[in-house]
Amino acid sequence: MLTDFVPLFLMMALALGLALSLLKLHQLLGPKRPNLIKTAAYESGMDPIGTARERYSVKFYLVAMIFIVFDVEVVFLYPWAVSFRDFLAADAGLGVMMVVSFFILVLGIGLLYDIKKGGLEFE
């Protein structure tokens, strides 16, 4: 039984070794000749002025997060759209439409909540 697991151990060792070596390799192989410009925060572009800890409005993050969530939910619509034709052919189009409408409704409730709580007001 134990010999069955040999491939697994090999694979684990391989994965660990490869991952570790990739992490270390760039340090070892890459030439390191730092100069003032290279170590600057932005090698090309504006020189950083003032503190890097400048505060952005939290709204900035908020909108970004809301975007991520709603954006990704769309993935569920792809398989639906692809197979909608088959459902239509099988005469189940209304049902599948209702189901996806409910899905949109749930997303809509989220959006409604956002608007009502002022999450999208960008002052």
Partner 1 sequence: MEITLNWYLSLSAVLFVIGVLGVLMRRNAIVILMSVELMLNAVNLTLVALSQAMGDVAGQILVFFVMAVAAAEAAIGLAIIIALFRKKVTVDVNEFHLFKY
Partner 2 sequence: MDAALLVQLILLLPLAGAVFNGILPLFLPALRTREPLIGAVATAVVAIPFVLVLILFLGYEPGQPVIVDFFPWIVAGDLEVHFAYRIDELSLVMGLIVTGVGALIHLYAVGYMHGDSGFWRFFAYLNLFIFAMLNLVLGDNMVVLFLGWEGVGVCSYLLIGFWYTNLKNSAAANKAFIVNRIGDFAFLVAMFLLFRELGGLDFTTITEGGGAIPEATLNWIVLLLFIGATGKSAQIPLFVWLPDAMAGPTPVSALIHAATMVTSGLYLLARLSPVVLAAPDIMVVIAVVAALTAIMAASIAIAQNDIKKVLAYSTVSQLGYMFMAAGVGAFFVAIFHVMTHAFFKACLFLGSGSVIHAMHHVEHEVEHKTGKHIDPQDMRTMGGLKKYMPATSRTYFIAMLAIAGIPPLAGFFSKDEILFKAFEYGYDGHAYAWFVWIVGLLTAVLTAFYMARSYYLTFEGEERWPLADQVHPHESPWTMTVPLWVLAGLSVVGGFLGLPGVIAHGEWNLIHHWLGEPYGGPVAEPVLAPHGEGFLAIEWGLILLGAGIAFAGWLFARAKYRTDGLAYDAHLRAKLGGLYRAWEGKYYWDELYDRLVVRPLMRFSERGLAAFDRYVVDGAVNGVAALTAGISRGLRYMQTGIVQNYALAIVFGALLVISLILFA
Partner 3 sequence: MDLTNIYASLPADLVATFSMVLVALVALALVVWDAFRNNAPGIPWAGVVALGVAIVWELFALGDAPGTAWYGMVRTGGFAAFVNIVVLIGALLSIILSVPYLREIRHAHGEVYAIILFATVGMMLLGTANNLVAVFVGLETMSISLYILTGLVREDEGATESALKYFLLGAFSTGFFLYGIALLYGATGTMDLARMSEGLAAGENLVMFWAGVGLLLVGFLFKVSAAPFHMWTPDVYQGAPTTLTAYMSTATKAATFASLILVLYAALPPERWTMVLAVIAVLTMVVGNVLAIAQQNVKRMLAYSSIAHAGYVLVGLAAGTPAGYAGALFYLLVYSIMNIGAFGVMALLEWDGKEGQTQTLNSLAGIGPRKPLLGATMVVFMFALVGFPPLGGFWGKVAVFAPAVEAGLTWLVIVGVLASAVSAYYYLRVLYVFWMRSPEDEPEAAAVQDRVFAVPVTSAAVLIVCVVLLLYFGVRPGGILETTASFFAGPGASMALLP
Give least dist CB 18 to partner 1, A.
5
Tokens 């400048």 found at: 54
User: Judged by CB under 8 A, which stretch of 1-9, 24-32, 45-53, 95-103 contacts partner 2?
Assistant: 1-9
Alpha-carbon gap, residue 55 to 81, rounded angstroms: 42
Alpha-carbon gap, residue 40 to 95, rounded angstroms: 60
- Residue spans of beta strands (DSSP E) within 13-119: none
Alpha-carbon gap, residue 5 to 11, rounded angstroms: 10
Q: Which does 2 bind (CB under 5 to 8 A by kind): partner 2, partner 3, partner 1, none?
A: partner 2
Q: Are 113 and 62 in contact (CB under 8 A)?
A: no
Contact call for residue 67 and partner 2 (CB under 8 A): no
Contact call for residue 2 and partner 2 (CB under 8 A): yes
Report the candidate in 108, 99, 94, 106 with the shortest Cα–Cα distance to residue 79.
Answer: 99
Smaller CB distance to partner 2: residue 8 or 75?
A: 8
Alpha-carbon gap, residue 1 to 29, rounded angstroms: 42
Give least dist CB 5 to partner 2, A.
5
Compose the 82-111 pattern: x for residues touching partner 3 by CB under 8 A, - for all others.
----xx-xxxx--xx---------x--xx-
List contacts with partner 2 (CB under 8 A): 2, 5, 8
List contacts with partner 3 (CB under 8 A): 1, 4-5, 7-8, 86-87, 89-92, 95-96, 106, 109-110, 112-113, 116-117
